[in-house]
Chain A
């Protein structure tokens, strides 16, 4: 299938989707969908000639025809399947999505804490119940990202989470996405809309799991808004099937004195592209973007982050750590924009990578665009191998090479996990990370 044919396939899917909407096609949001489809049809998937996409070849995406899965029956066994594949997130009420569909009946809706409102996105869109500004945000974002345009054209499945003003929620909310082999090759366009209102605080964990060998294309978009003095700890555990394609796009805006933290753990998928676009739009806002990615085999993981310091006195900390084995490829792009009025900006960025084989490859590029003169911006990137002295020290104590290598690479990567502010999540994530790295060292 070539480029034009793949665009045509999605246009045909859109026609069927539109027909299935019935009354939903009259909603205010549907006009946005049509615009988005038009935009996608003009652009198609990005190519290596697009500067922001030049390290990731999406040809495999057009080589397979992905069609939307059927909505699964609400069978309790699905929850069991999902939890068997997933890392346990203790004390976190779970919202379950299967093959792209929100399974309300299999979700812990009754256990959602006071102060959080969870809505099925499909009905919210049909009822025009989403604030109009969400539609405006959606329209603004898809202009720059064909995947977001495609998601927007098909936006229906997903969830809207509102954390009410002054609500401080101890329990994190767990969004668990299960993708099954029998449903593939399917495409899903989940959309997550998160609104943390003034003075509110909460944690949200997105977790993606797939059955072994499942082939699918998960094209996720998150729209995240933090009100004044709001805090969101956003953890993403990406543990998709290694035959899957995962594209994520997160659009975040942080108001005055708000604090947004994104903690990304990248383990799965054949090709990953995760974008985070954070705008610090009120003074005193802070943003943390931390991530670790540990590809093995022939996995390809591309992280593209933008932190836009739009006003003065904002801070951002970013650290990404990659451990790359076998014939994998990693990409890290860290763009930091400091607008002319954003004096006293304090931005720190680092990207550290550990290559475990001769054939693993990393492209790392800091991109600083600074238009203010009284700012502090630091960035650094390192690419290295396992330290021989450290390795020998462990060997000399009787620890074999595979375990020693694993101990050292785990220590390197789990540094990111140790910074997740929700302590109850760390042990489970560390266990999974350790086992994933063990696979790389057993070969």
Chain B
């Protein structure tokens, strides 16, 4: 589904990603862990198409096409979804309006009929149950005045409505209490199928108690220095990132 080869990227002239290799197949959940400043969010941003990141080397293939040539909207329409670390507030635009505009944009892209308000509302109310959100959130401006947990649940609601093939969750767990974490993780798990895949970017092992990854990669200083199964996350938790920080080269075959 996704193949990243020797990806280098920089922001404001500073190189952050220094040769990332990663392959994600349908049905897989990959966790990317790493200390602050290791490049986790940069990787998520590059994949979603944020303009502030400049790709200097390497390539990214997504379902057989050159991902880096697609603009951010086209990436979303092609089934990519980024759950933001810091979801953006949009005053004056209601959550319903936003969700409906997004869903219809994706449907239009695929030549499908757009949802009318009635059908859309039925769909979104169904999806809201997944993240235990109250329907009153629909009429509120996007993320404005939402608590941290509400914002993250709103991200997963968008994911549920758009039904992506590849989801990238950028530190979706950060700042969440355990109840919110459980709700968010359960939403992600329910949306997981053999046909879609997820990349879960996190600083803490805790999230992985709820979303069990097939693969764990450790990102340090712009490179994946270690890959393994879910047990790698426990090792990191027990020993801290210092244990891997000194690793110069990948010690396991990247998957």
Contacts and interface: CB of A to CB of B under 8 A. Distances in A.
Contact of A393 (B51, B84, B97): B84
Interface stretch (B68-76, B132-140, B242-250): B68-76
A157 B190 CA distance: 69
Contact of A411 (B71, B90, B109): B90
B73 A398 contact: yes
A399 B73 contact: yes
B162 interface: yes
Nearest to A393: B88
Contact of B72 (A389, A395, A403): A395
B72 A408 contact: no
A399 B84 contact: no
A3 interface: no
Contacts of B224: none
Contacts of A389: 88
Interface string B85-126: 001111111000110011001100100000000000000000
Contacts of A401: 71, 73
Contacts of B71: 395, 401
Contacts of A117: none
A397 B92 contact: no
Contacts of A395: 49, 71-73, 76
A411 B91 contact: yes
Measured as residues with beta carbon below 8 angstroms from the partner, the interface class of chain B is 20 to 34
B90 A392 contact: no
A412 interface: yes
A111 interface: no
Interface in B182-227: none
Contacts of A369: none
A396 B71 CA distance: 9
A329 B106 CA distance: 36
A367 B117 CA distance: 46
A412 B90 CA distance: 10
A400 B101 CA distance: 10
Contacts of B92: 410-412, 414-415
A404 B176 CA distance: 29
Contacts of A407: 93, 97-98, 101
A137 interface: no
B165 to A, nearest CB: 13
B90 A403 contact: no
A390 interface: yes
Nearest to A414: B92
A398 B162 contact: yes
A397 B76 CA distance: 6
Nearest to B52: A388
A397 B105 contact: yes
Contacts of B88: 389-390, 392-393
Interface string A291-307: 00000000000000000
B82 interface: yes
Which interface residue of B88, B106, B162 has the most chain A CB atoms within 10 A?
B88
Interface of B: 48-51, 71-73, 75-77, 81-82, 84, 87-93, 97-98, 101-102, 105-106, 109, 158, 162
Given A396-B73, A398-B162, A399-B105, 20 more contacts: A390-B89, A392-B51, A392-B72, A393-B90, A394-B98, A395-B73, A395-B76, A396-B81, A397-B105, A397-B162, A398-B102, A399-B101, A401-B71, A403-B101, A407-B93, A407-B98, A407-B101, A411-B90, A411-B91, A411-B92
